[in-house]
Amino acid sequence: MSVKMSDNNRKKVVIIGSGLVGSVCACFMAKRGYDVEVFERRDDIRAAVEVKGRSINLALSHRGRKALNSIGIEDDVLESAIPMKGRLLHSAKGELKRVVYDPTFNQCIFSVGRNYLNKKLIQATTNFPNVKIYFNHLLTRSNFEEGSVTLINLKTCEEFKRNADLIIGADGAYSKLRLAMQQTPQFQYSQQYIEHGYLELSIRPQMGHKMEPNNLHIWPRGKFMMIALPNQDSSWTVTIFMPFEKFENLSTPKKVLKFFQDTFPDSVDLIGENDIVDTFLKNRPSELVSIKCSPYHIGGKFLIIGDAAHAMVPFYGQGMNAGFEDCSLLDDLLEKNRNDIAKTIQEYSKVRVKNAHAICDLAMYNYVEMRDLVNRIGFQWRKSIDHLLFRSFPNKWIPLYNSVSFSTMEYNQCVCNRKWQDRVIYKIVMTIGIIIGTIVIIFFKSFIYK
């Protein structure tokens, strides 16, 4: 049960950014009885005809669902989300192979459109009279000693200051608040752009029915890959991830079409030759960045969450889910500490940094898994053992993917759990090898002496 705030003691919260994580955080803070102001650089996307920016479909899993449930909109979101039970792998010859996420309990992840969900979450903030959102407002300065931020109205050019009990940066991978934090002593920051970019294509609704539904489709090709996620209107969002150098080599319609016909032959008719060529020749691939920093707070009032704190590559489908879990954790700690904000954000940093770093690393690893390892016999063998042991000992042996996507086990613990499992399997294999070797030696010795 939340600690209620009296009218004379209502905390004031400023949130920078009304994206996915900022909107969810606003709902959590408003539910606690705080007065919340959200400042967003962009226009209100609910009124926009065309929304610019990233549109990679999102994979909603357990951690994200838990946060949405806490603010009362999980069922509403899931009504328009599409369940994906596993990966469907496309070979270069067009052959299909299914890899189920959870053959034991049949759990699935859900495909949901980024812009659709962002609109839904912004709308959810209107359920709370103590939330106000201001669009077209940009953060210009942060004063950590004063506990204030300065913003500018991009339409009127009016600049003003806001003081608050808690100021939260949920303004994405290129966060203005984090940039200010980077200028403070002892703040650790690193970023890594991978050498691969992405382009988005789509399969139109009239062709979408030819795709097997309720799966994440993957075309793994060793050094690169293409994926497709389903949409509610029967279309599919297709994303190709590839080294920039390879994108640059596809500079003519002939080269682009030949590449697709040789590499993704079963996708050409689905996407359409004209759409493939237009996308490649009229757009440049977008970058993918992984960001780590520490701590996530400054002083007793400033905190960063979501991509502002831990932007990650999208290959584990946990960027949004981790951001939503940030909000759940912050709320839990505020409850535990009875709304003591300074104590809470210090504890939040201590608890969250190691886990956010762990999922950033896992996301990097999963790109290698999706584009390459899924086709290898050793990987498939390991998956089979994991599922067998999970089915036999569901409370003791939880595979890495299941612990990340279908539980709230701390990300760092998921990694430790996987390392323990690796050691166990190694010992089992070595023991079996020794037993077999001993039997062979005994057999040959008995044969020779006869």
Any idea which residue has 């939340």 for tokens? 2
Look at the chain and report how many structural domains it folds into: 3
Q: Is the peptide bond before 243 cis (omega within 30 degrees of 0)?
A: no
So what's the pLDDT on residue 53? 44
Cα distances (Å, whole numbers) of residue 300 to 147, 165, 166, 382, 427: 8, 9, 8, 46, 48
So what's the pLDDT on residue 8? 55
So what's the pLDDT on residue 54? 47
CB-based contact 202:279 (threshold 8 Å): no
Using pLDDT thresholds of 50, 70 and 90, give the confidence band for residue 149: very high
So what's the pLDDT on residue 65? 98
Instruction: Report the distance separating Cα 112 and Cα 4, nearest Å.
Output: 34
Any idea which residue has 């293409």 for tokens? 226
Instruction: Report the distance separating Cα 201 and Cα 224, nearest Å.
Output: 16
Are 23 and 131 part of one and the same domain? Answer: yes
Using pLDDT thresholds of 50, 70 and 90, give the confidence band for residue 5: low
183 in any annotated domain: yes
Using pLDDT thresholds of 50, 70 and 90, give the confidence band for residue 438: confident
In terms of average pLDDT, the best of 95-109, 320-334, 371-385 is: 320-334
Joined tokens for residue 178: 């984090």
Instruction: Report the distance separating Cα 387 and Cα 396, nearest Å.
Output: 12
Closest-CA residue to 170 (of 32, 358, 67, 39): 39
Are 37 and 179 part of one and the same domain? Answer: yes
Are 47 and 119 part of one and the same domain? Answer: yes
446 in any annotated domain: no
Are 257 and 230 part of one and the same domain? Answer: yes
Are 175 and 199 part of one and the same domain? Answer: no
* Residues 329-345: tens digit of each pLDDT: 999 999 999 999 999 99
Which CATH number characterizes residue 228's domain? 3.30.9.10
Contacts of 246 (CB under 8 A, 6+ apart): 223, 224
So what's the pLDDT on residue 411? 98
Cα distances (Å, whole numbers) of residue 322 to 10, 25, 148, 334, 394: 28, 13, 27, 18, 24
351-355 average pLDDT score: 98
Closest-CA residue to 316 (of 109, 94, 41, 135): 109
So what's the pLDDT on residue 49? 66
So what's the pLDDT on residue 155? 97
Are 349 and 310 part of one and the same domain? Answer: yes
Sheet holding 159-163, edge to edge: 137-143, 148-153, 159-163
Top pLDDT among 433 and 141 is at 141
Closest-CA residue to 371 (of 212, 176, 222): 222
29-55 average pLDDT score: 84
Cα distances (Å, whole numbers) of residue 210 to 74, 200, 207: 30, 19, 6
Residue 429: pLDDT over 90: no
445 in any annotated domain: no
Are 383 and 238 part of one and the same domain? Answer: no
**Of 287, 312, 328, the domain-final residue:** 287
410 in any annotated domain: yes
Residue 52: pLDDT over 50: no
Range of the domain at 304: 7-57+113-190+289-368
Long-range contacts from 340-346, C-beta under 8 angstroms, 24+ separation = 341/11, 341/165, 341/166, 341/300, 341/301, 342/299, 342/300, 342/301, 345/166, 345/296, 345/297, 345/300, 345/301, 345/302, 345/303, 346/295, 346/297, 346/300
Instruction: Report the distance separating Cα 222 and Cα 303, nearest Å.
Output: 39
Residue 9: pLDDT over 80: no
Are 266 and 119 part of one and the same domain? Answer: no
318-325 average pLDDT score: 98
Are 264 and 218 part of one and the same domain? Answer: yes
* Residues 169-202: tens digit of each pLDDT: 999 999 999 999 999 999 999 999 999 999 999 9
Residue 50: pLDDT over 90: no
So what's the pLDDT on residue 432? 87
211 in any annotated domain: yes
Per the prediction, the chain carries an average pLDDT of 93
Taking every pair of Cα atoms in the chain, the longest distance, rounded to a whole number of angstroms, is 100
Compute the chain's Rg from CA coordinates.
Answer: 25
Using pLDDT thresholds of 50, 70 and 90, give the confidence band for residue 283: very high
Are 96 and 223 part of one and the same domain? Answer: yes
Instruction: Report the distance separating Cα 87 and Cα 97, nearest Å.
Output: 8
Residue 359: pLDDT over 80: yes
Are 152 and 279 part of one and the same domain? Answer: no
So what's the pLDDT on residue 450? 58
**Of 287, 315, 347, the domain-final residue:** 287
Using pLDDT thresholds of 50, 70 and 90, give the confidence band for residue 7: low
So what's the pLDDT on residue 370? 84
Ramachandran region, residue 306 (left: φ > 0; alpha: ψ -120 to 50; beta: rest): left
Closest-CA residue to 165 (of 301, 292, 330): 301
67 in any annotated domain: no
So what's the pLDDT on residue 410? 98
